Amino acid sequence: MMSITGIFSKNNEAVQEKVHEPKPYSNPYLVGIGLGLVLLASFVIMGRGLGASGAFSSIVATGVYQLAPDHTVSNPYFQEYVGDGSINPLKDWLVFEVLGVFVGGLISGLIAHRVKKTVEKGDRISVRNRLIFAFIGGGLMGFGAKLARGCTSGQALTGGALLNLGSWAFMMMVFAGAYAMAYFMRRQWT
C-alpha cells in the first residue's frame, strides 16, 4: 500500500523513502558556449535573435486590446503589436520562446532534483522583505528593459552579438548598476 507519507511494507513498518540530492550546477563556461550556440541557431532558424521583453509586450497589448480596442489601435506604441487589428499573442514567436524557457527550466530543475518550494534568502532578511525586494527589482528591470529597448537577452545577447554599440553600453551599465547596488544589498545575504 502507498501513502502520501511513505511506502509501507506488509507488516506496516515504514520504509524510508529515497531522497535525491540535488545535482551540482553546470559549468558556467560550458553553459555560456551553449547559450551562444542557441543564439546562433536562433539567427539561422528564425532570422532574428533572442529576447523576452517583446513577449510580455505582446501579451500586454493583447490585454489592452481586449479592454479598449479603439485606444490600442490609435496608440503608436501598441500599433506595432496590433497591426491590422487581428491581434493574437500566439502569432509572436517570442511568446513561445518565453514559454519554452519556462518549461525547459522546469524540466531541468526536475531532472537535477532542484525543484522545491522555498524562498532563497540570507539569514538577515525575512521572507516578506525578500519578496518585496524581488518585486521591486523585477519591476525596475522591466521598466529598464522598455527604456533600453530590450532586455538582457534581446539587448545584451542579441545586440552584443551584432556588435551594437548601444547594447555594449547597456551591458556595461547593467554590471555597473549591479556592483553599485551589491554594496547596499549584500548585508541581506551575509
> Hey, where are the domains in the chain?
27-116, 118-190
**Does the pTM exceed 0.85?**
no
Res. 13: pLDDT tops 60: no
State the DSSP string of the chain: -B-SS-EE-TT--EEPPPPPPPPPPPPHHHHHHHHHHHHHHHHHHHSS---SHHHHHHHHHHHHHHH-HHHHHH-HHHHHHHTTS---GGG-HHHHHHHHHHHHHHHHHHHTT---S-----TTS-HHHHHHHHHHHHHHHHHHHHHTTS-IIIIIIIHHHTT-HHHHHHHHHHHHHHHHHHHHHGGGT-
Comparing 49-58, 103-112, 131-140, which segment has the lowest mean pLDDT? 49-58
Predicted local confidence at residue 136, as pLDDT: 93
Res. 3: pLDDT tops 70: no
| Average pLDDT rounded to a whole number, residues 13-36 | 82
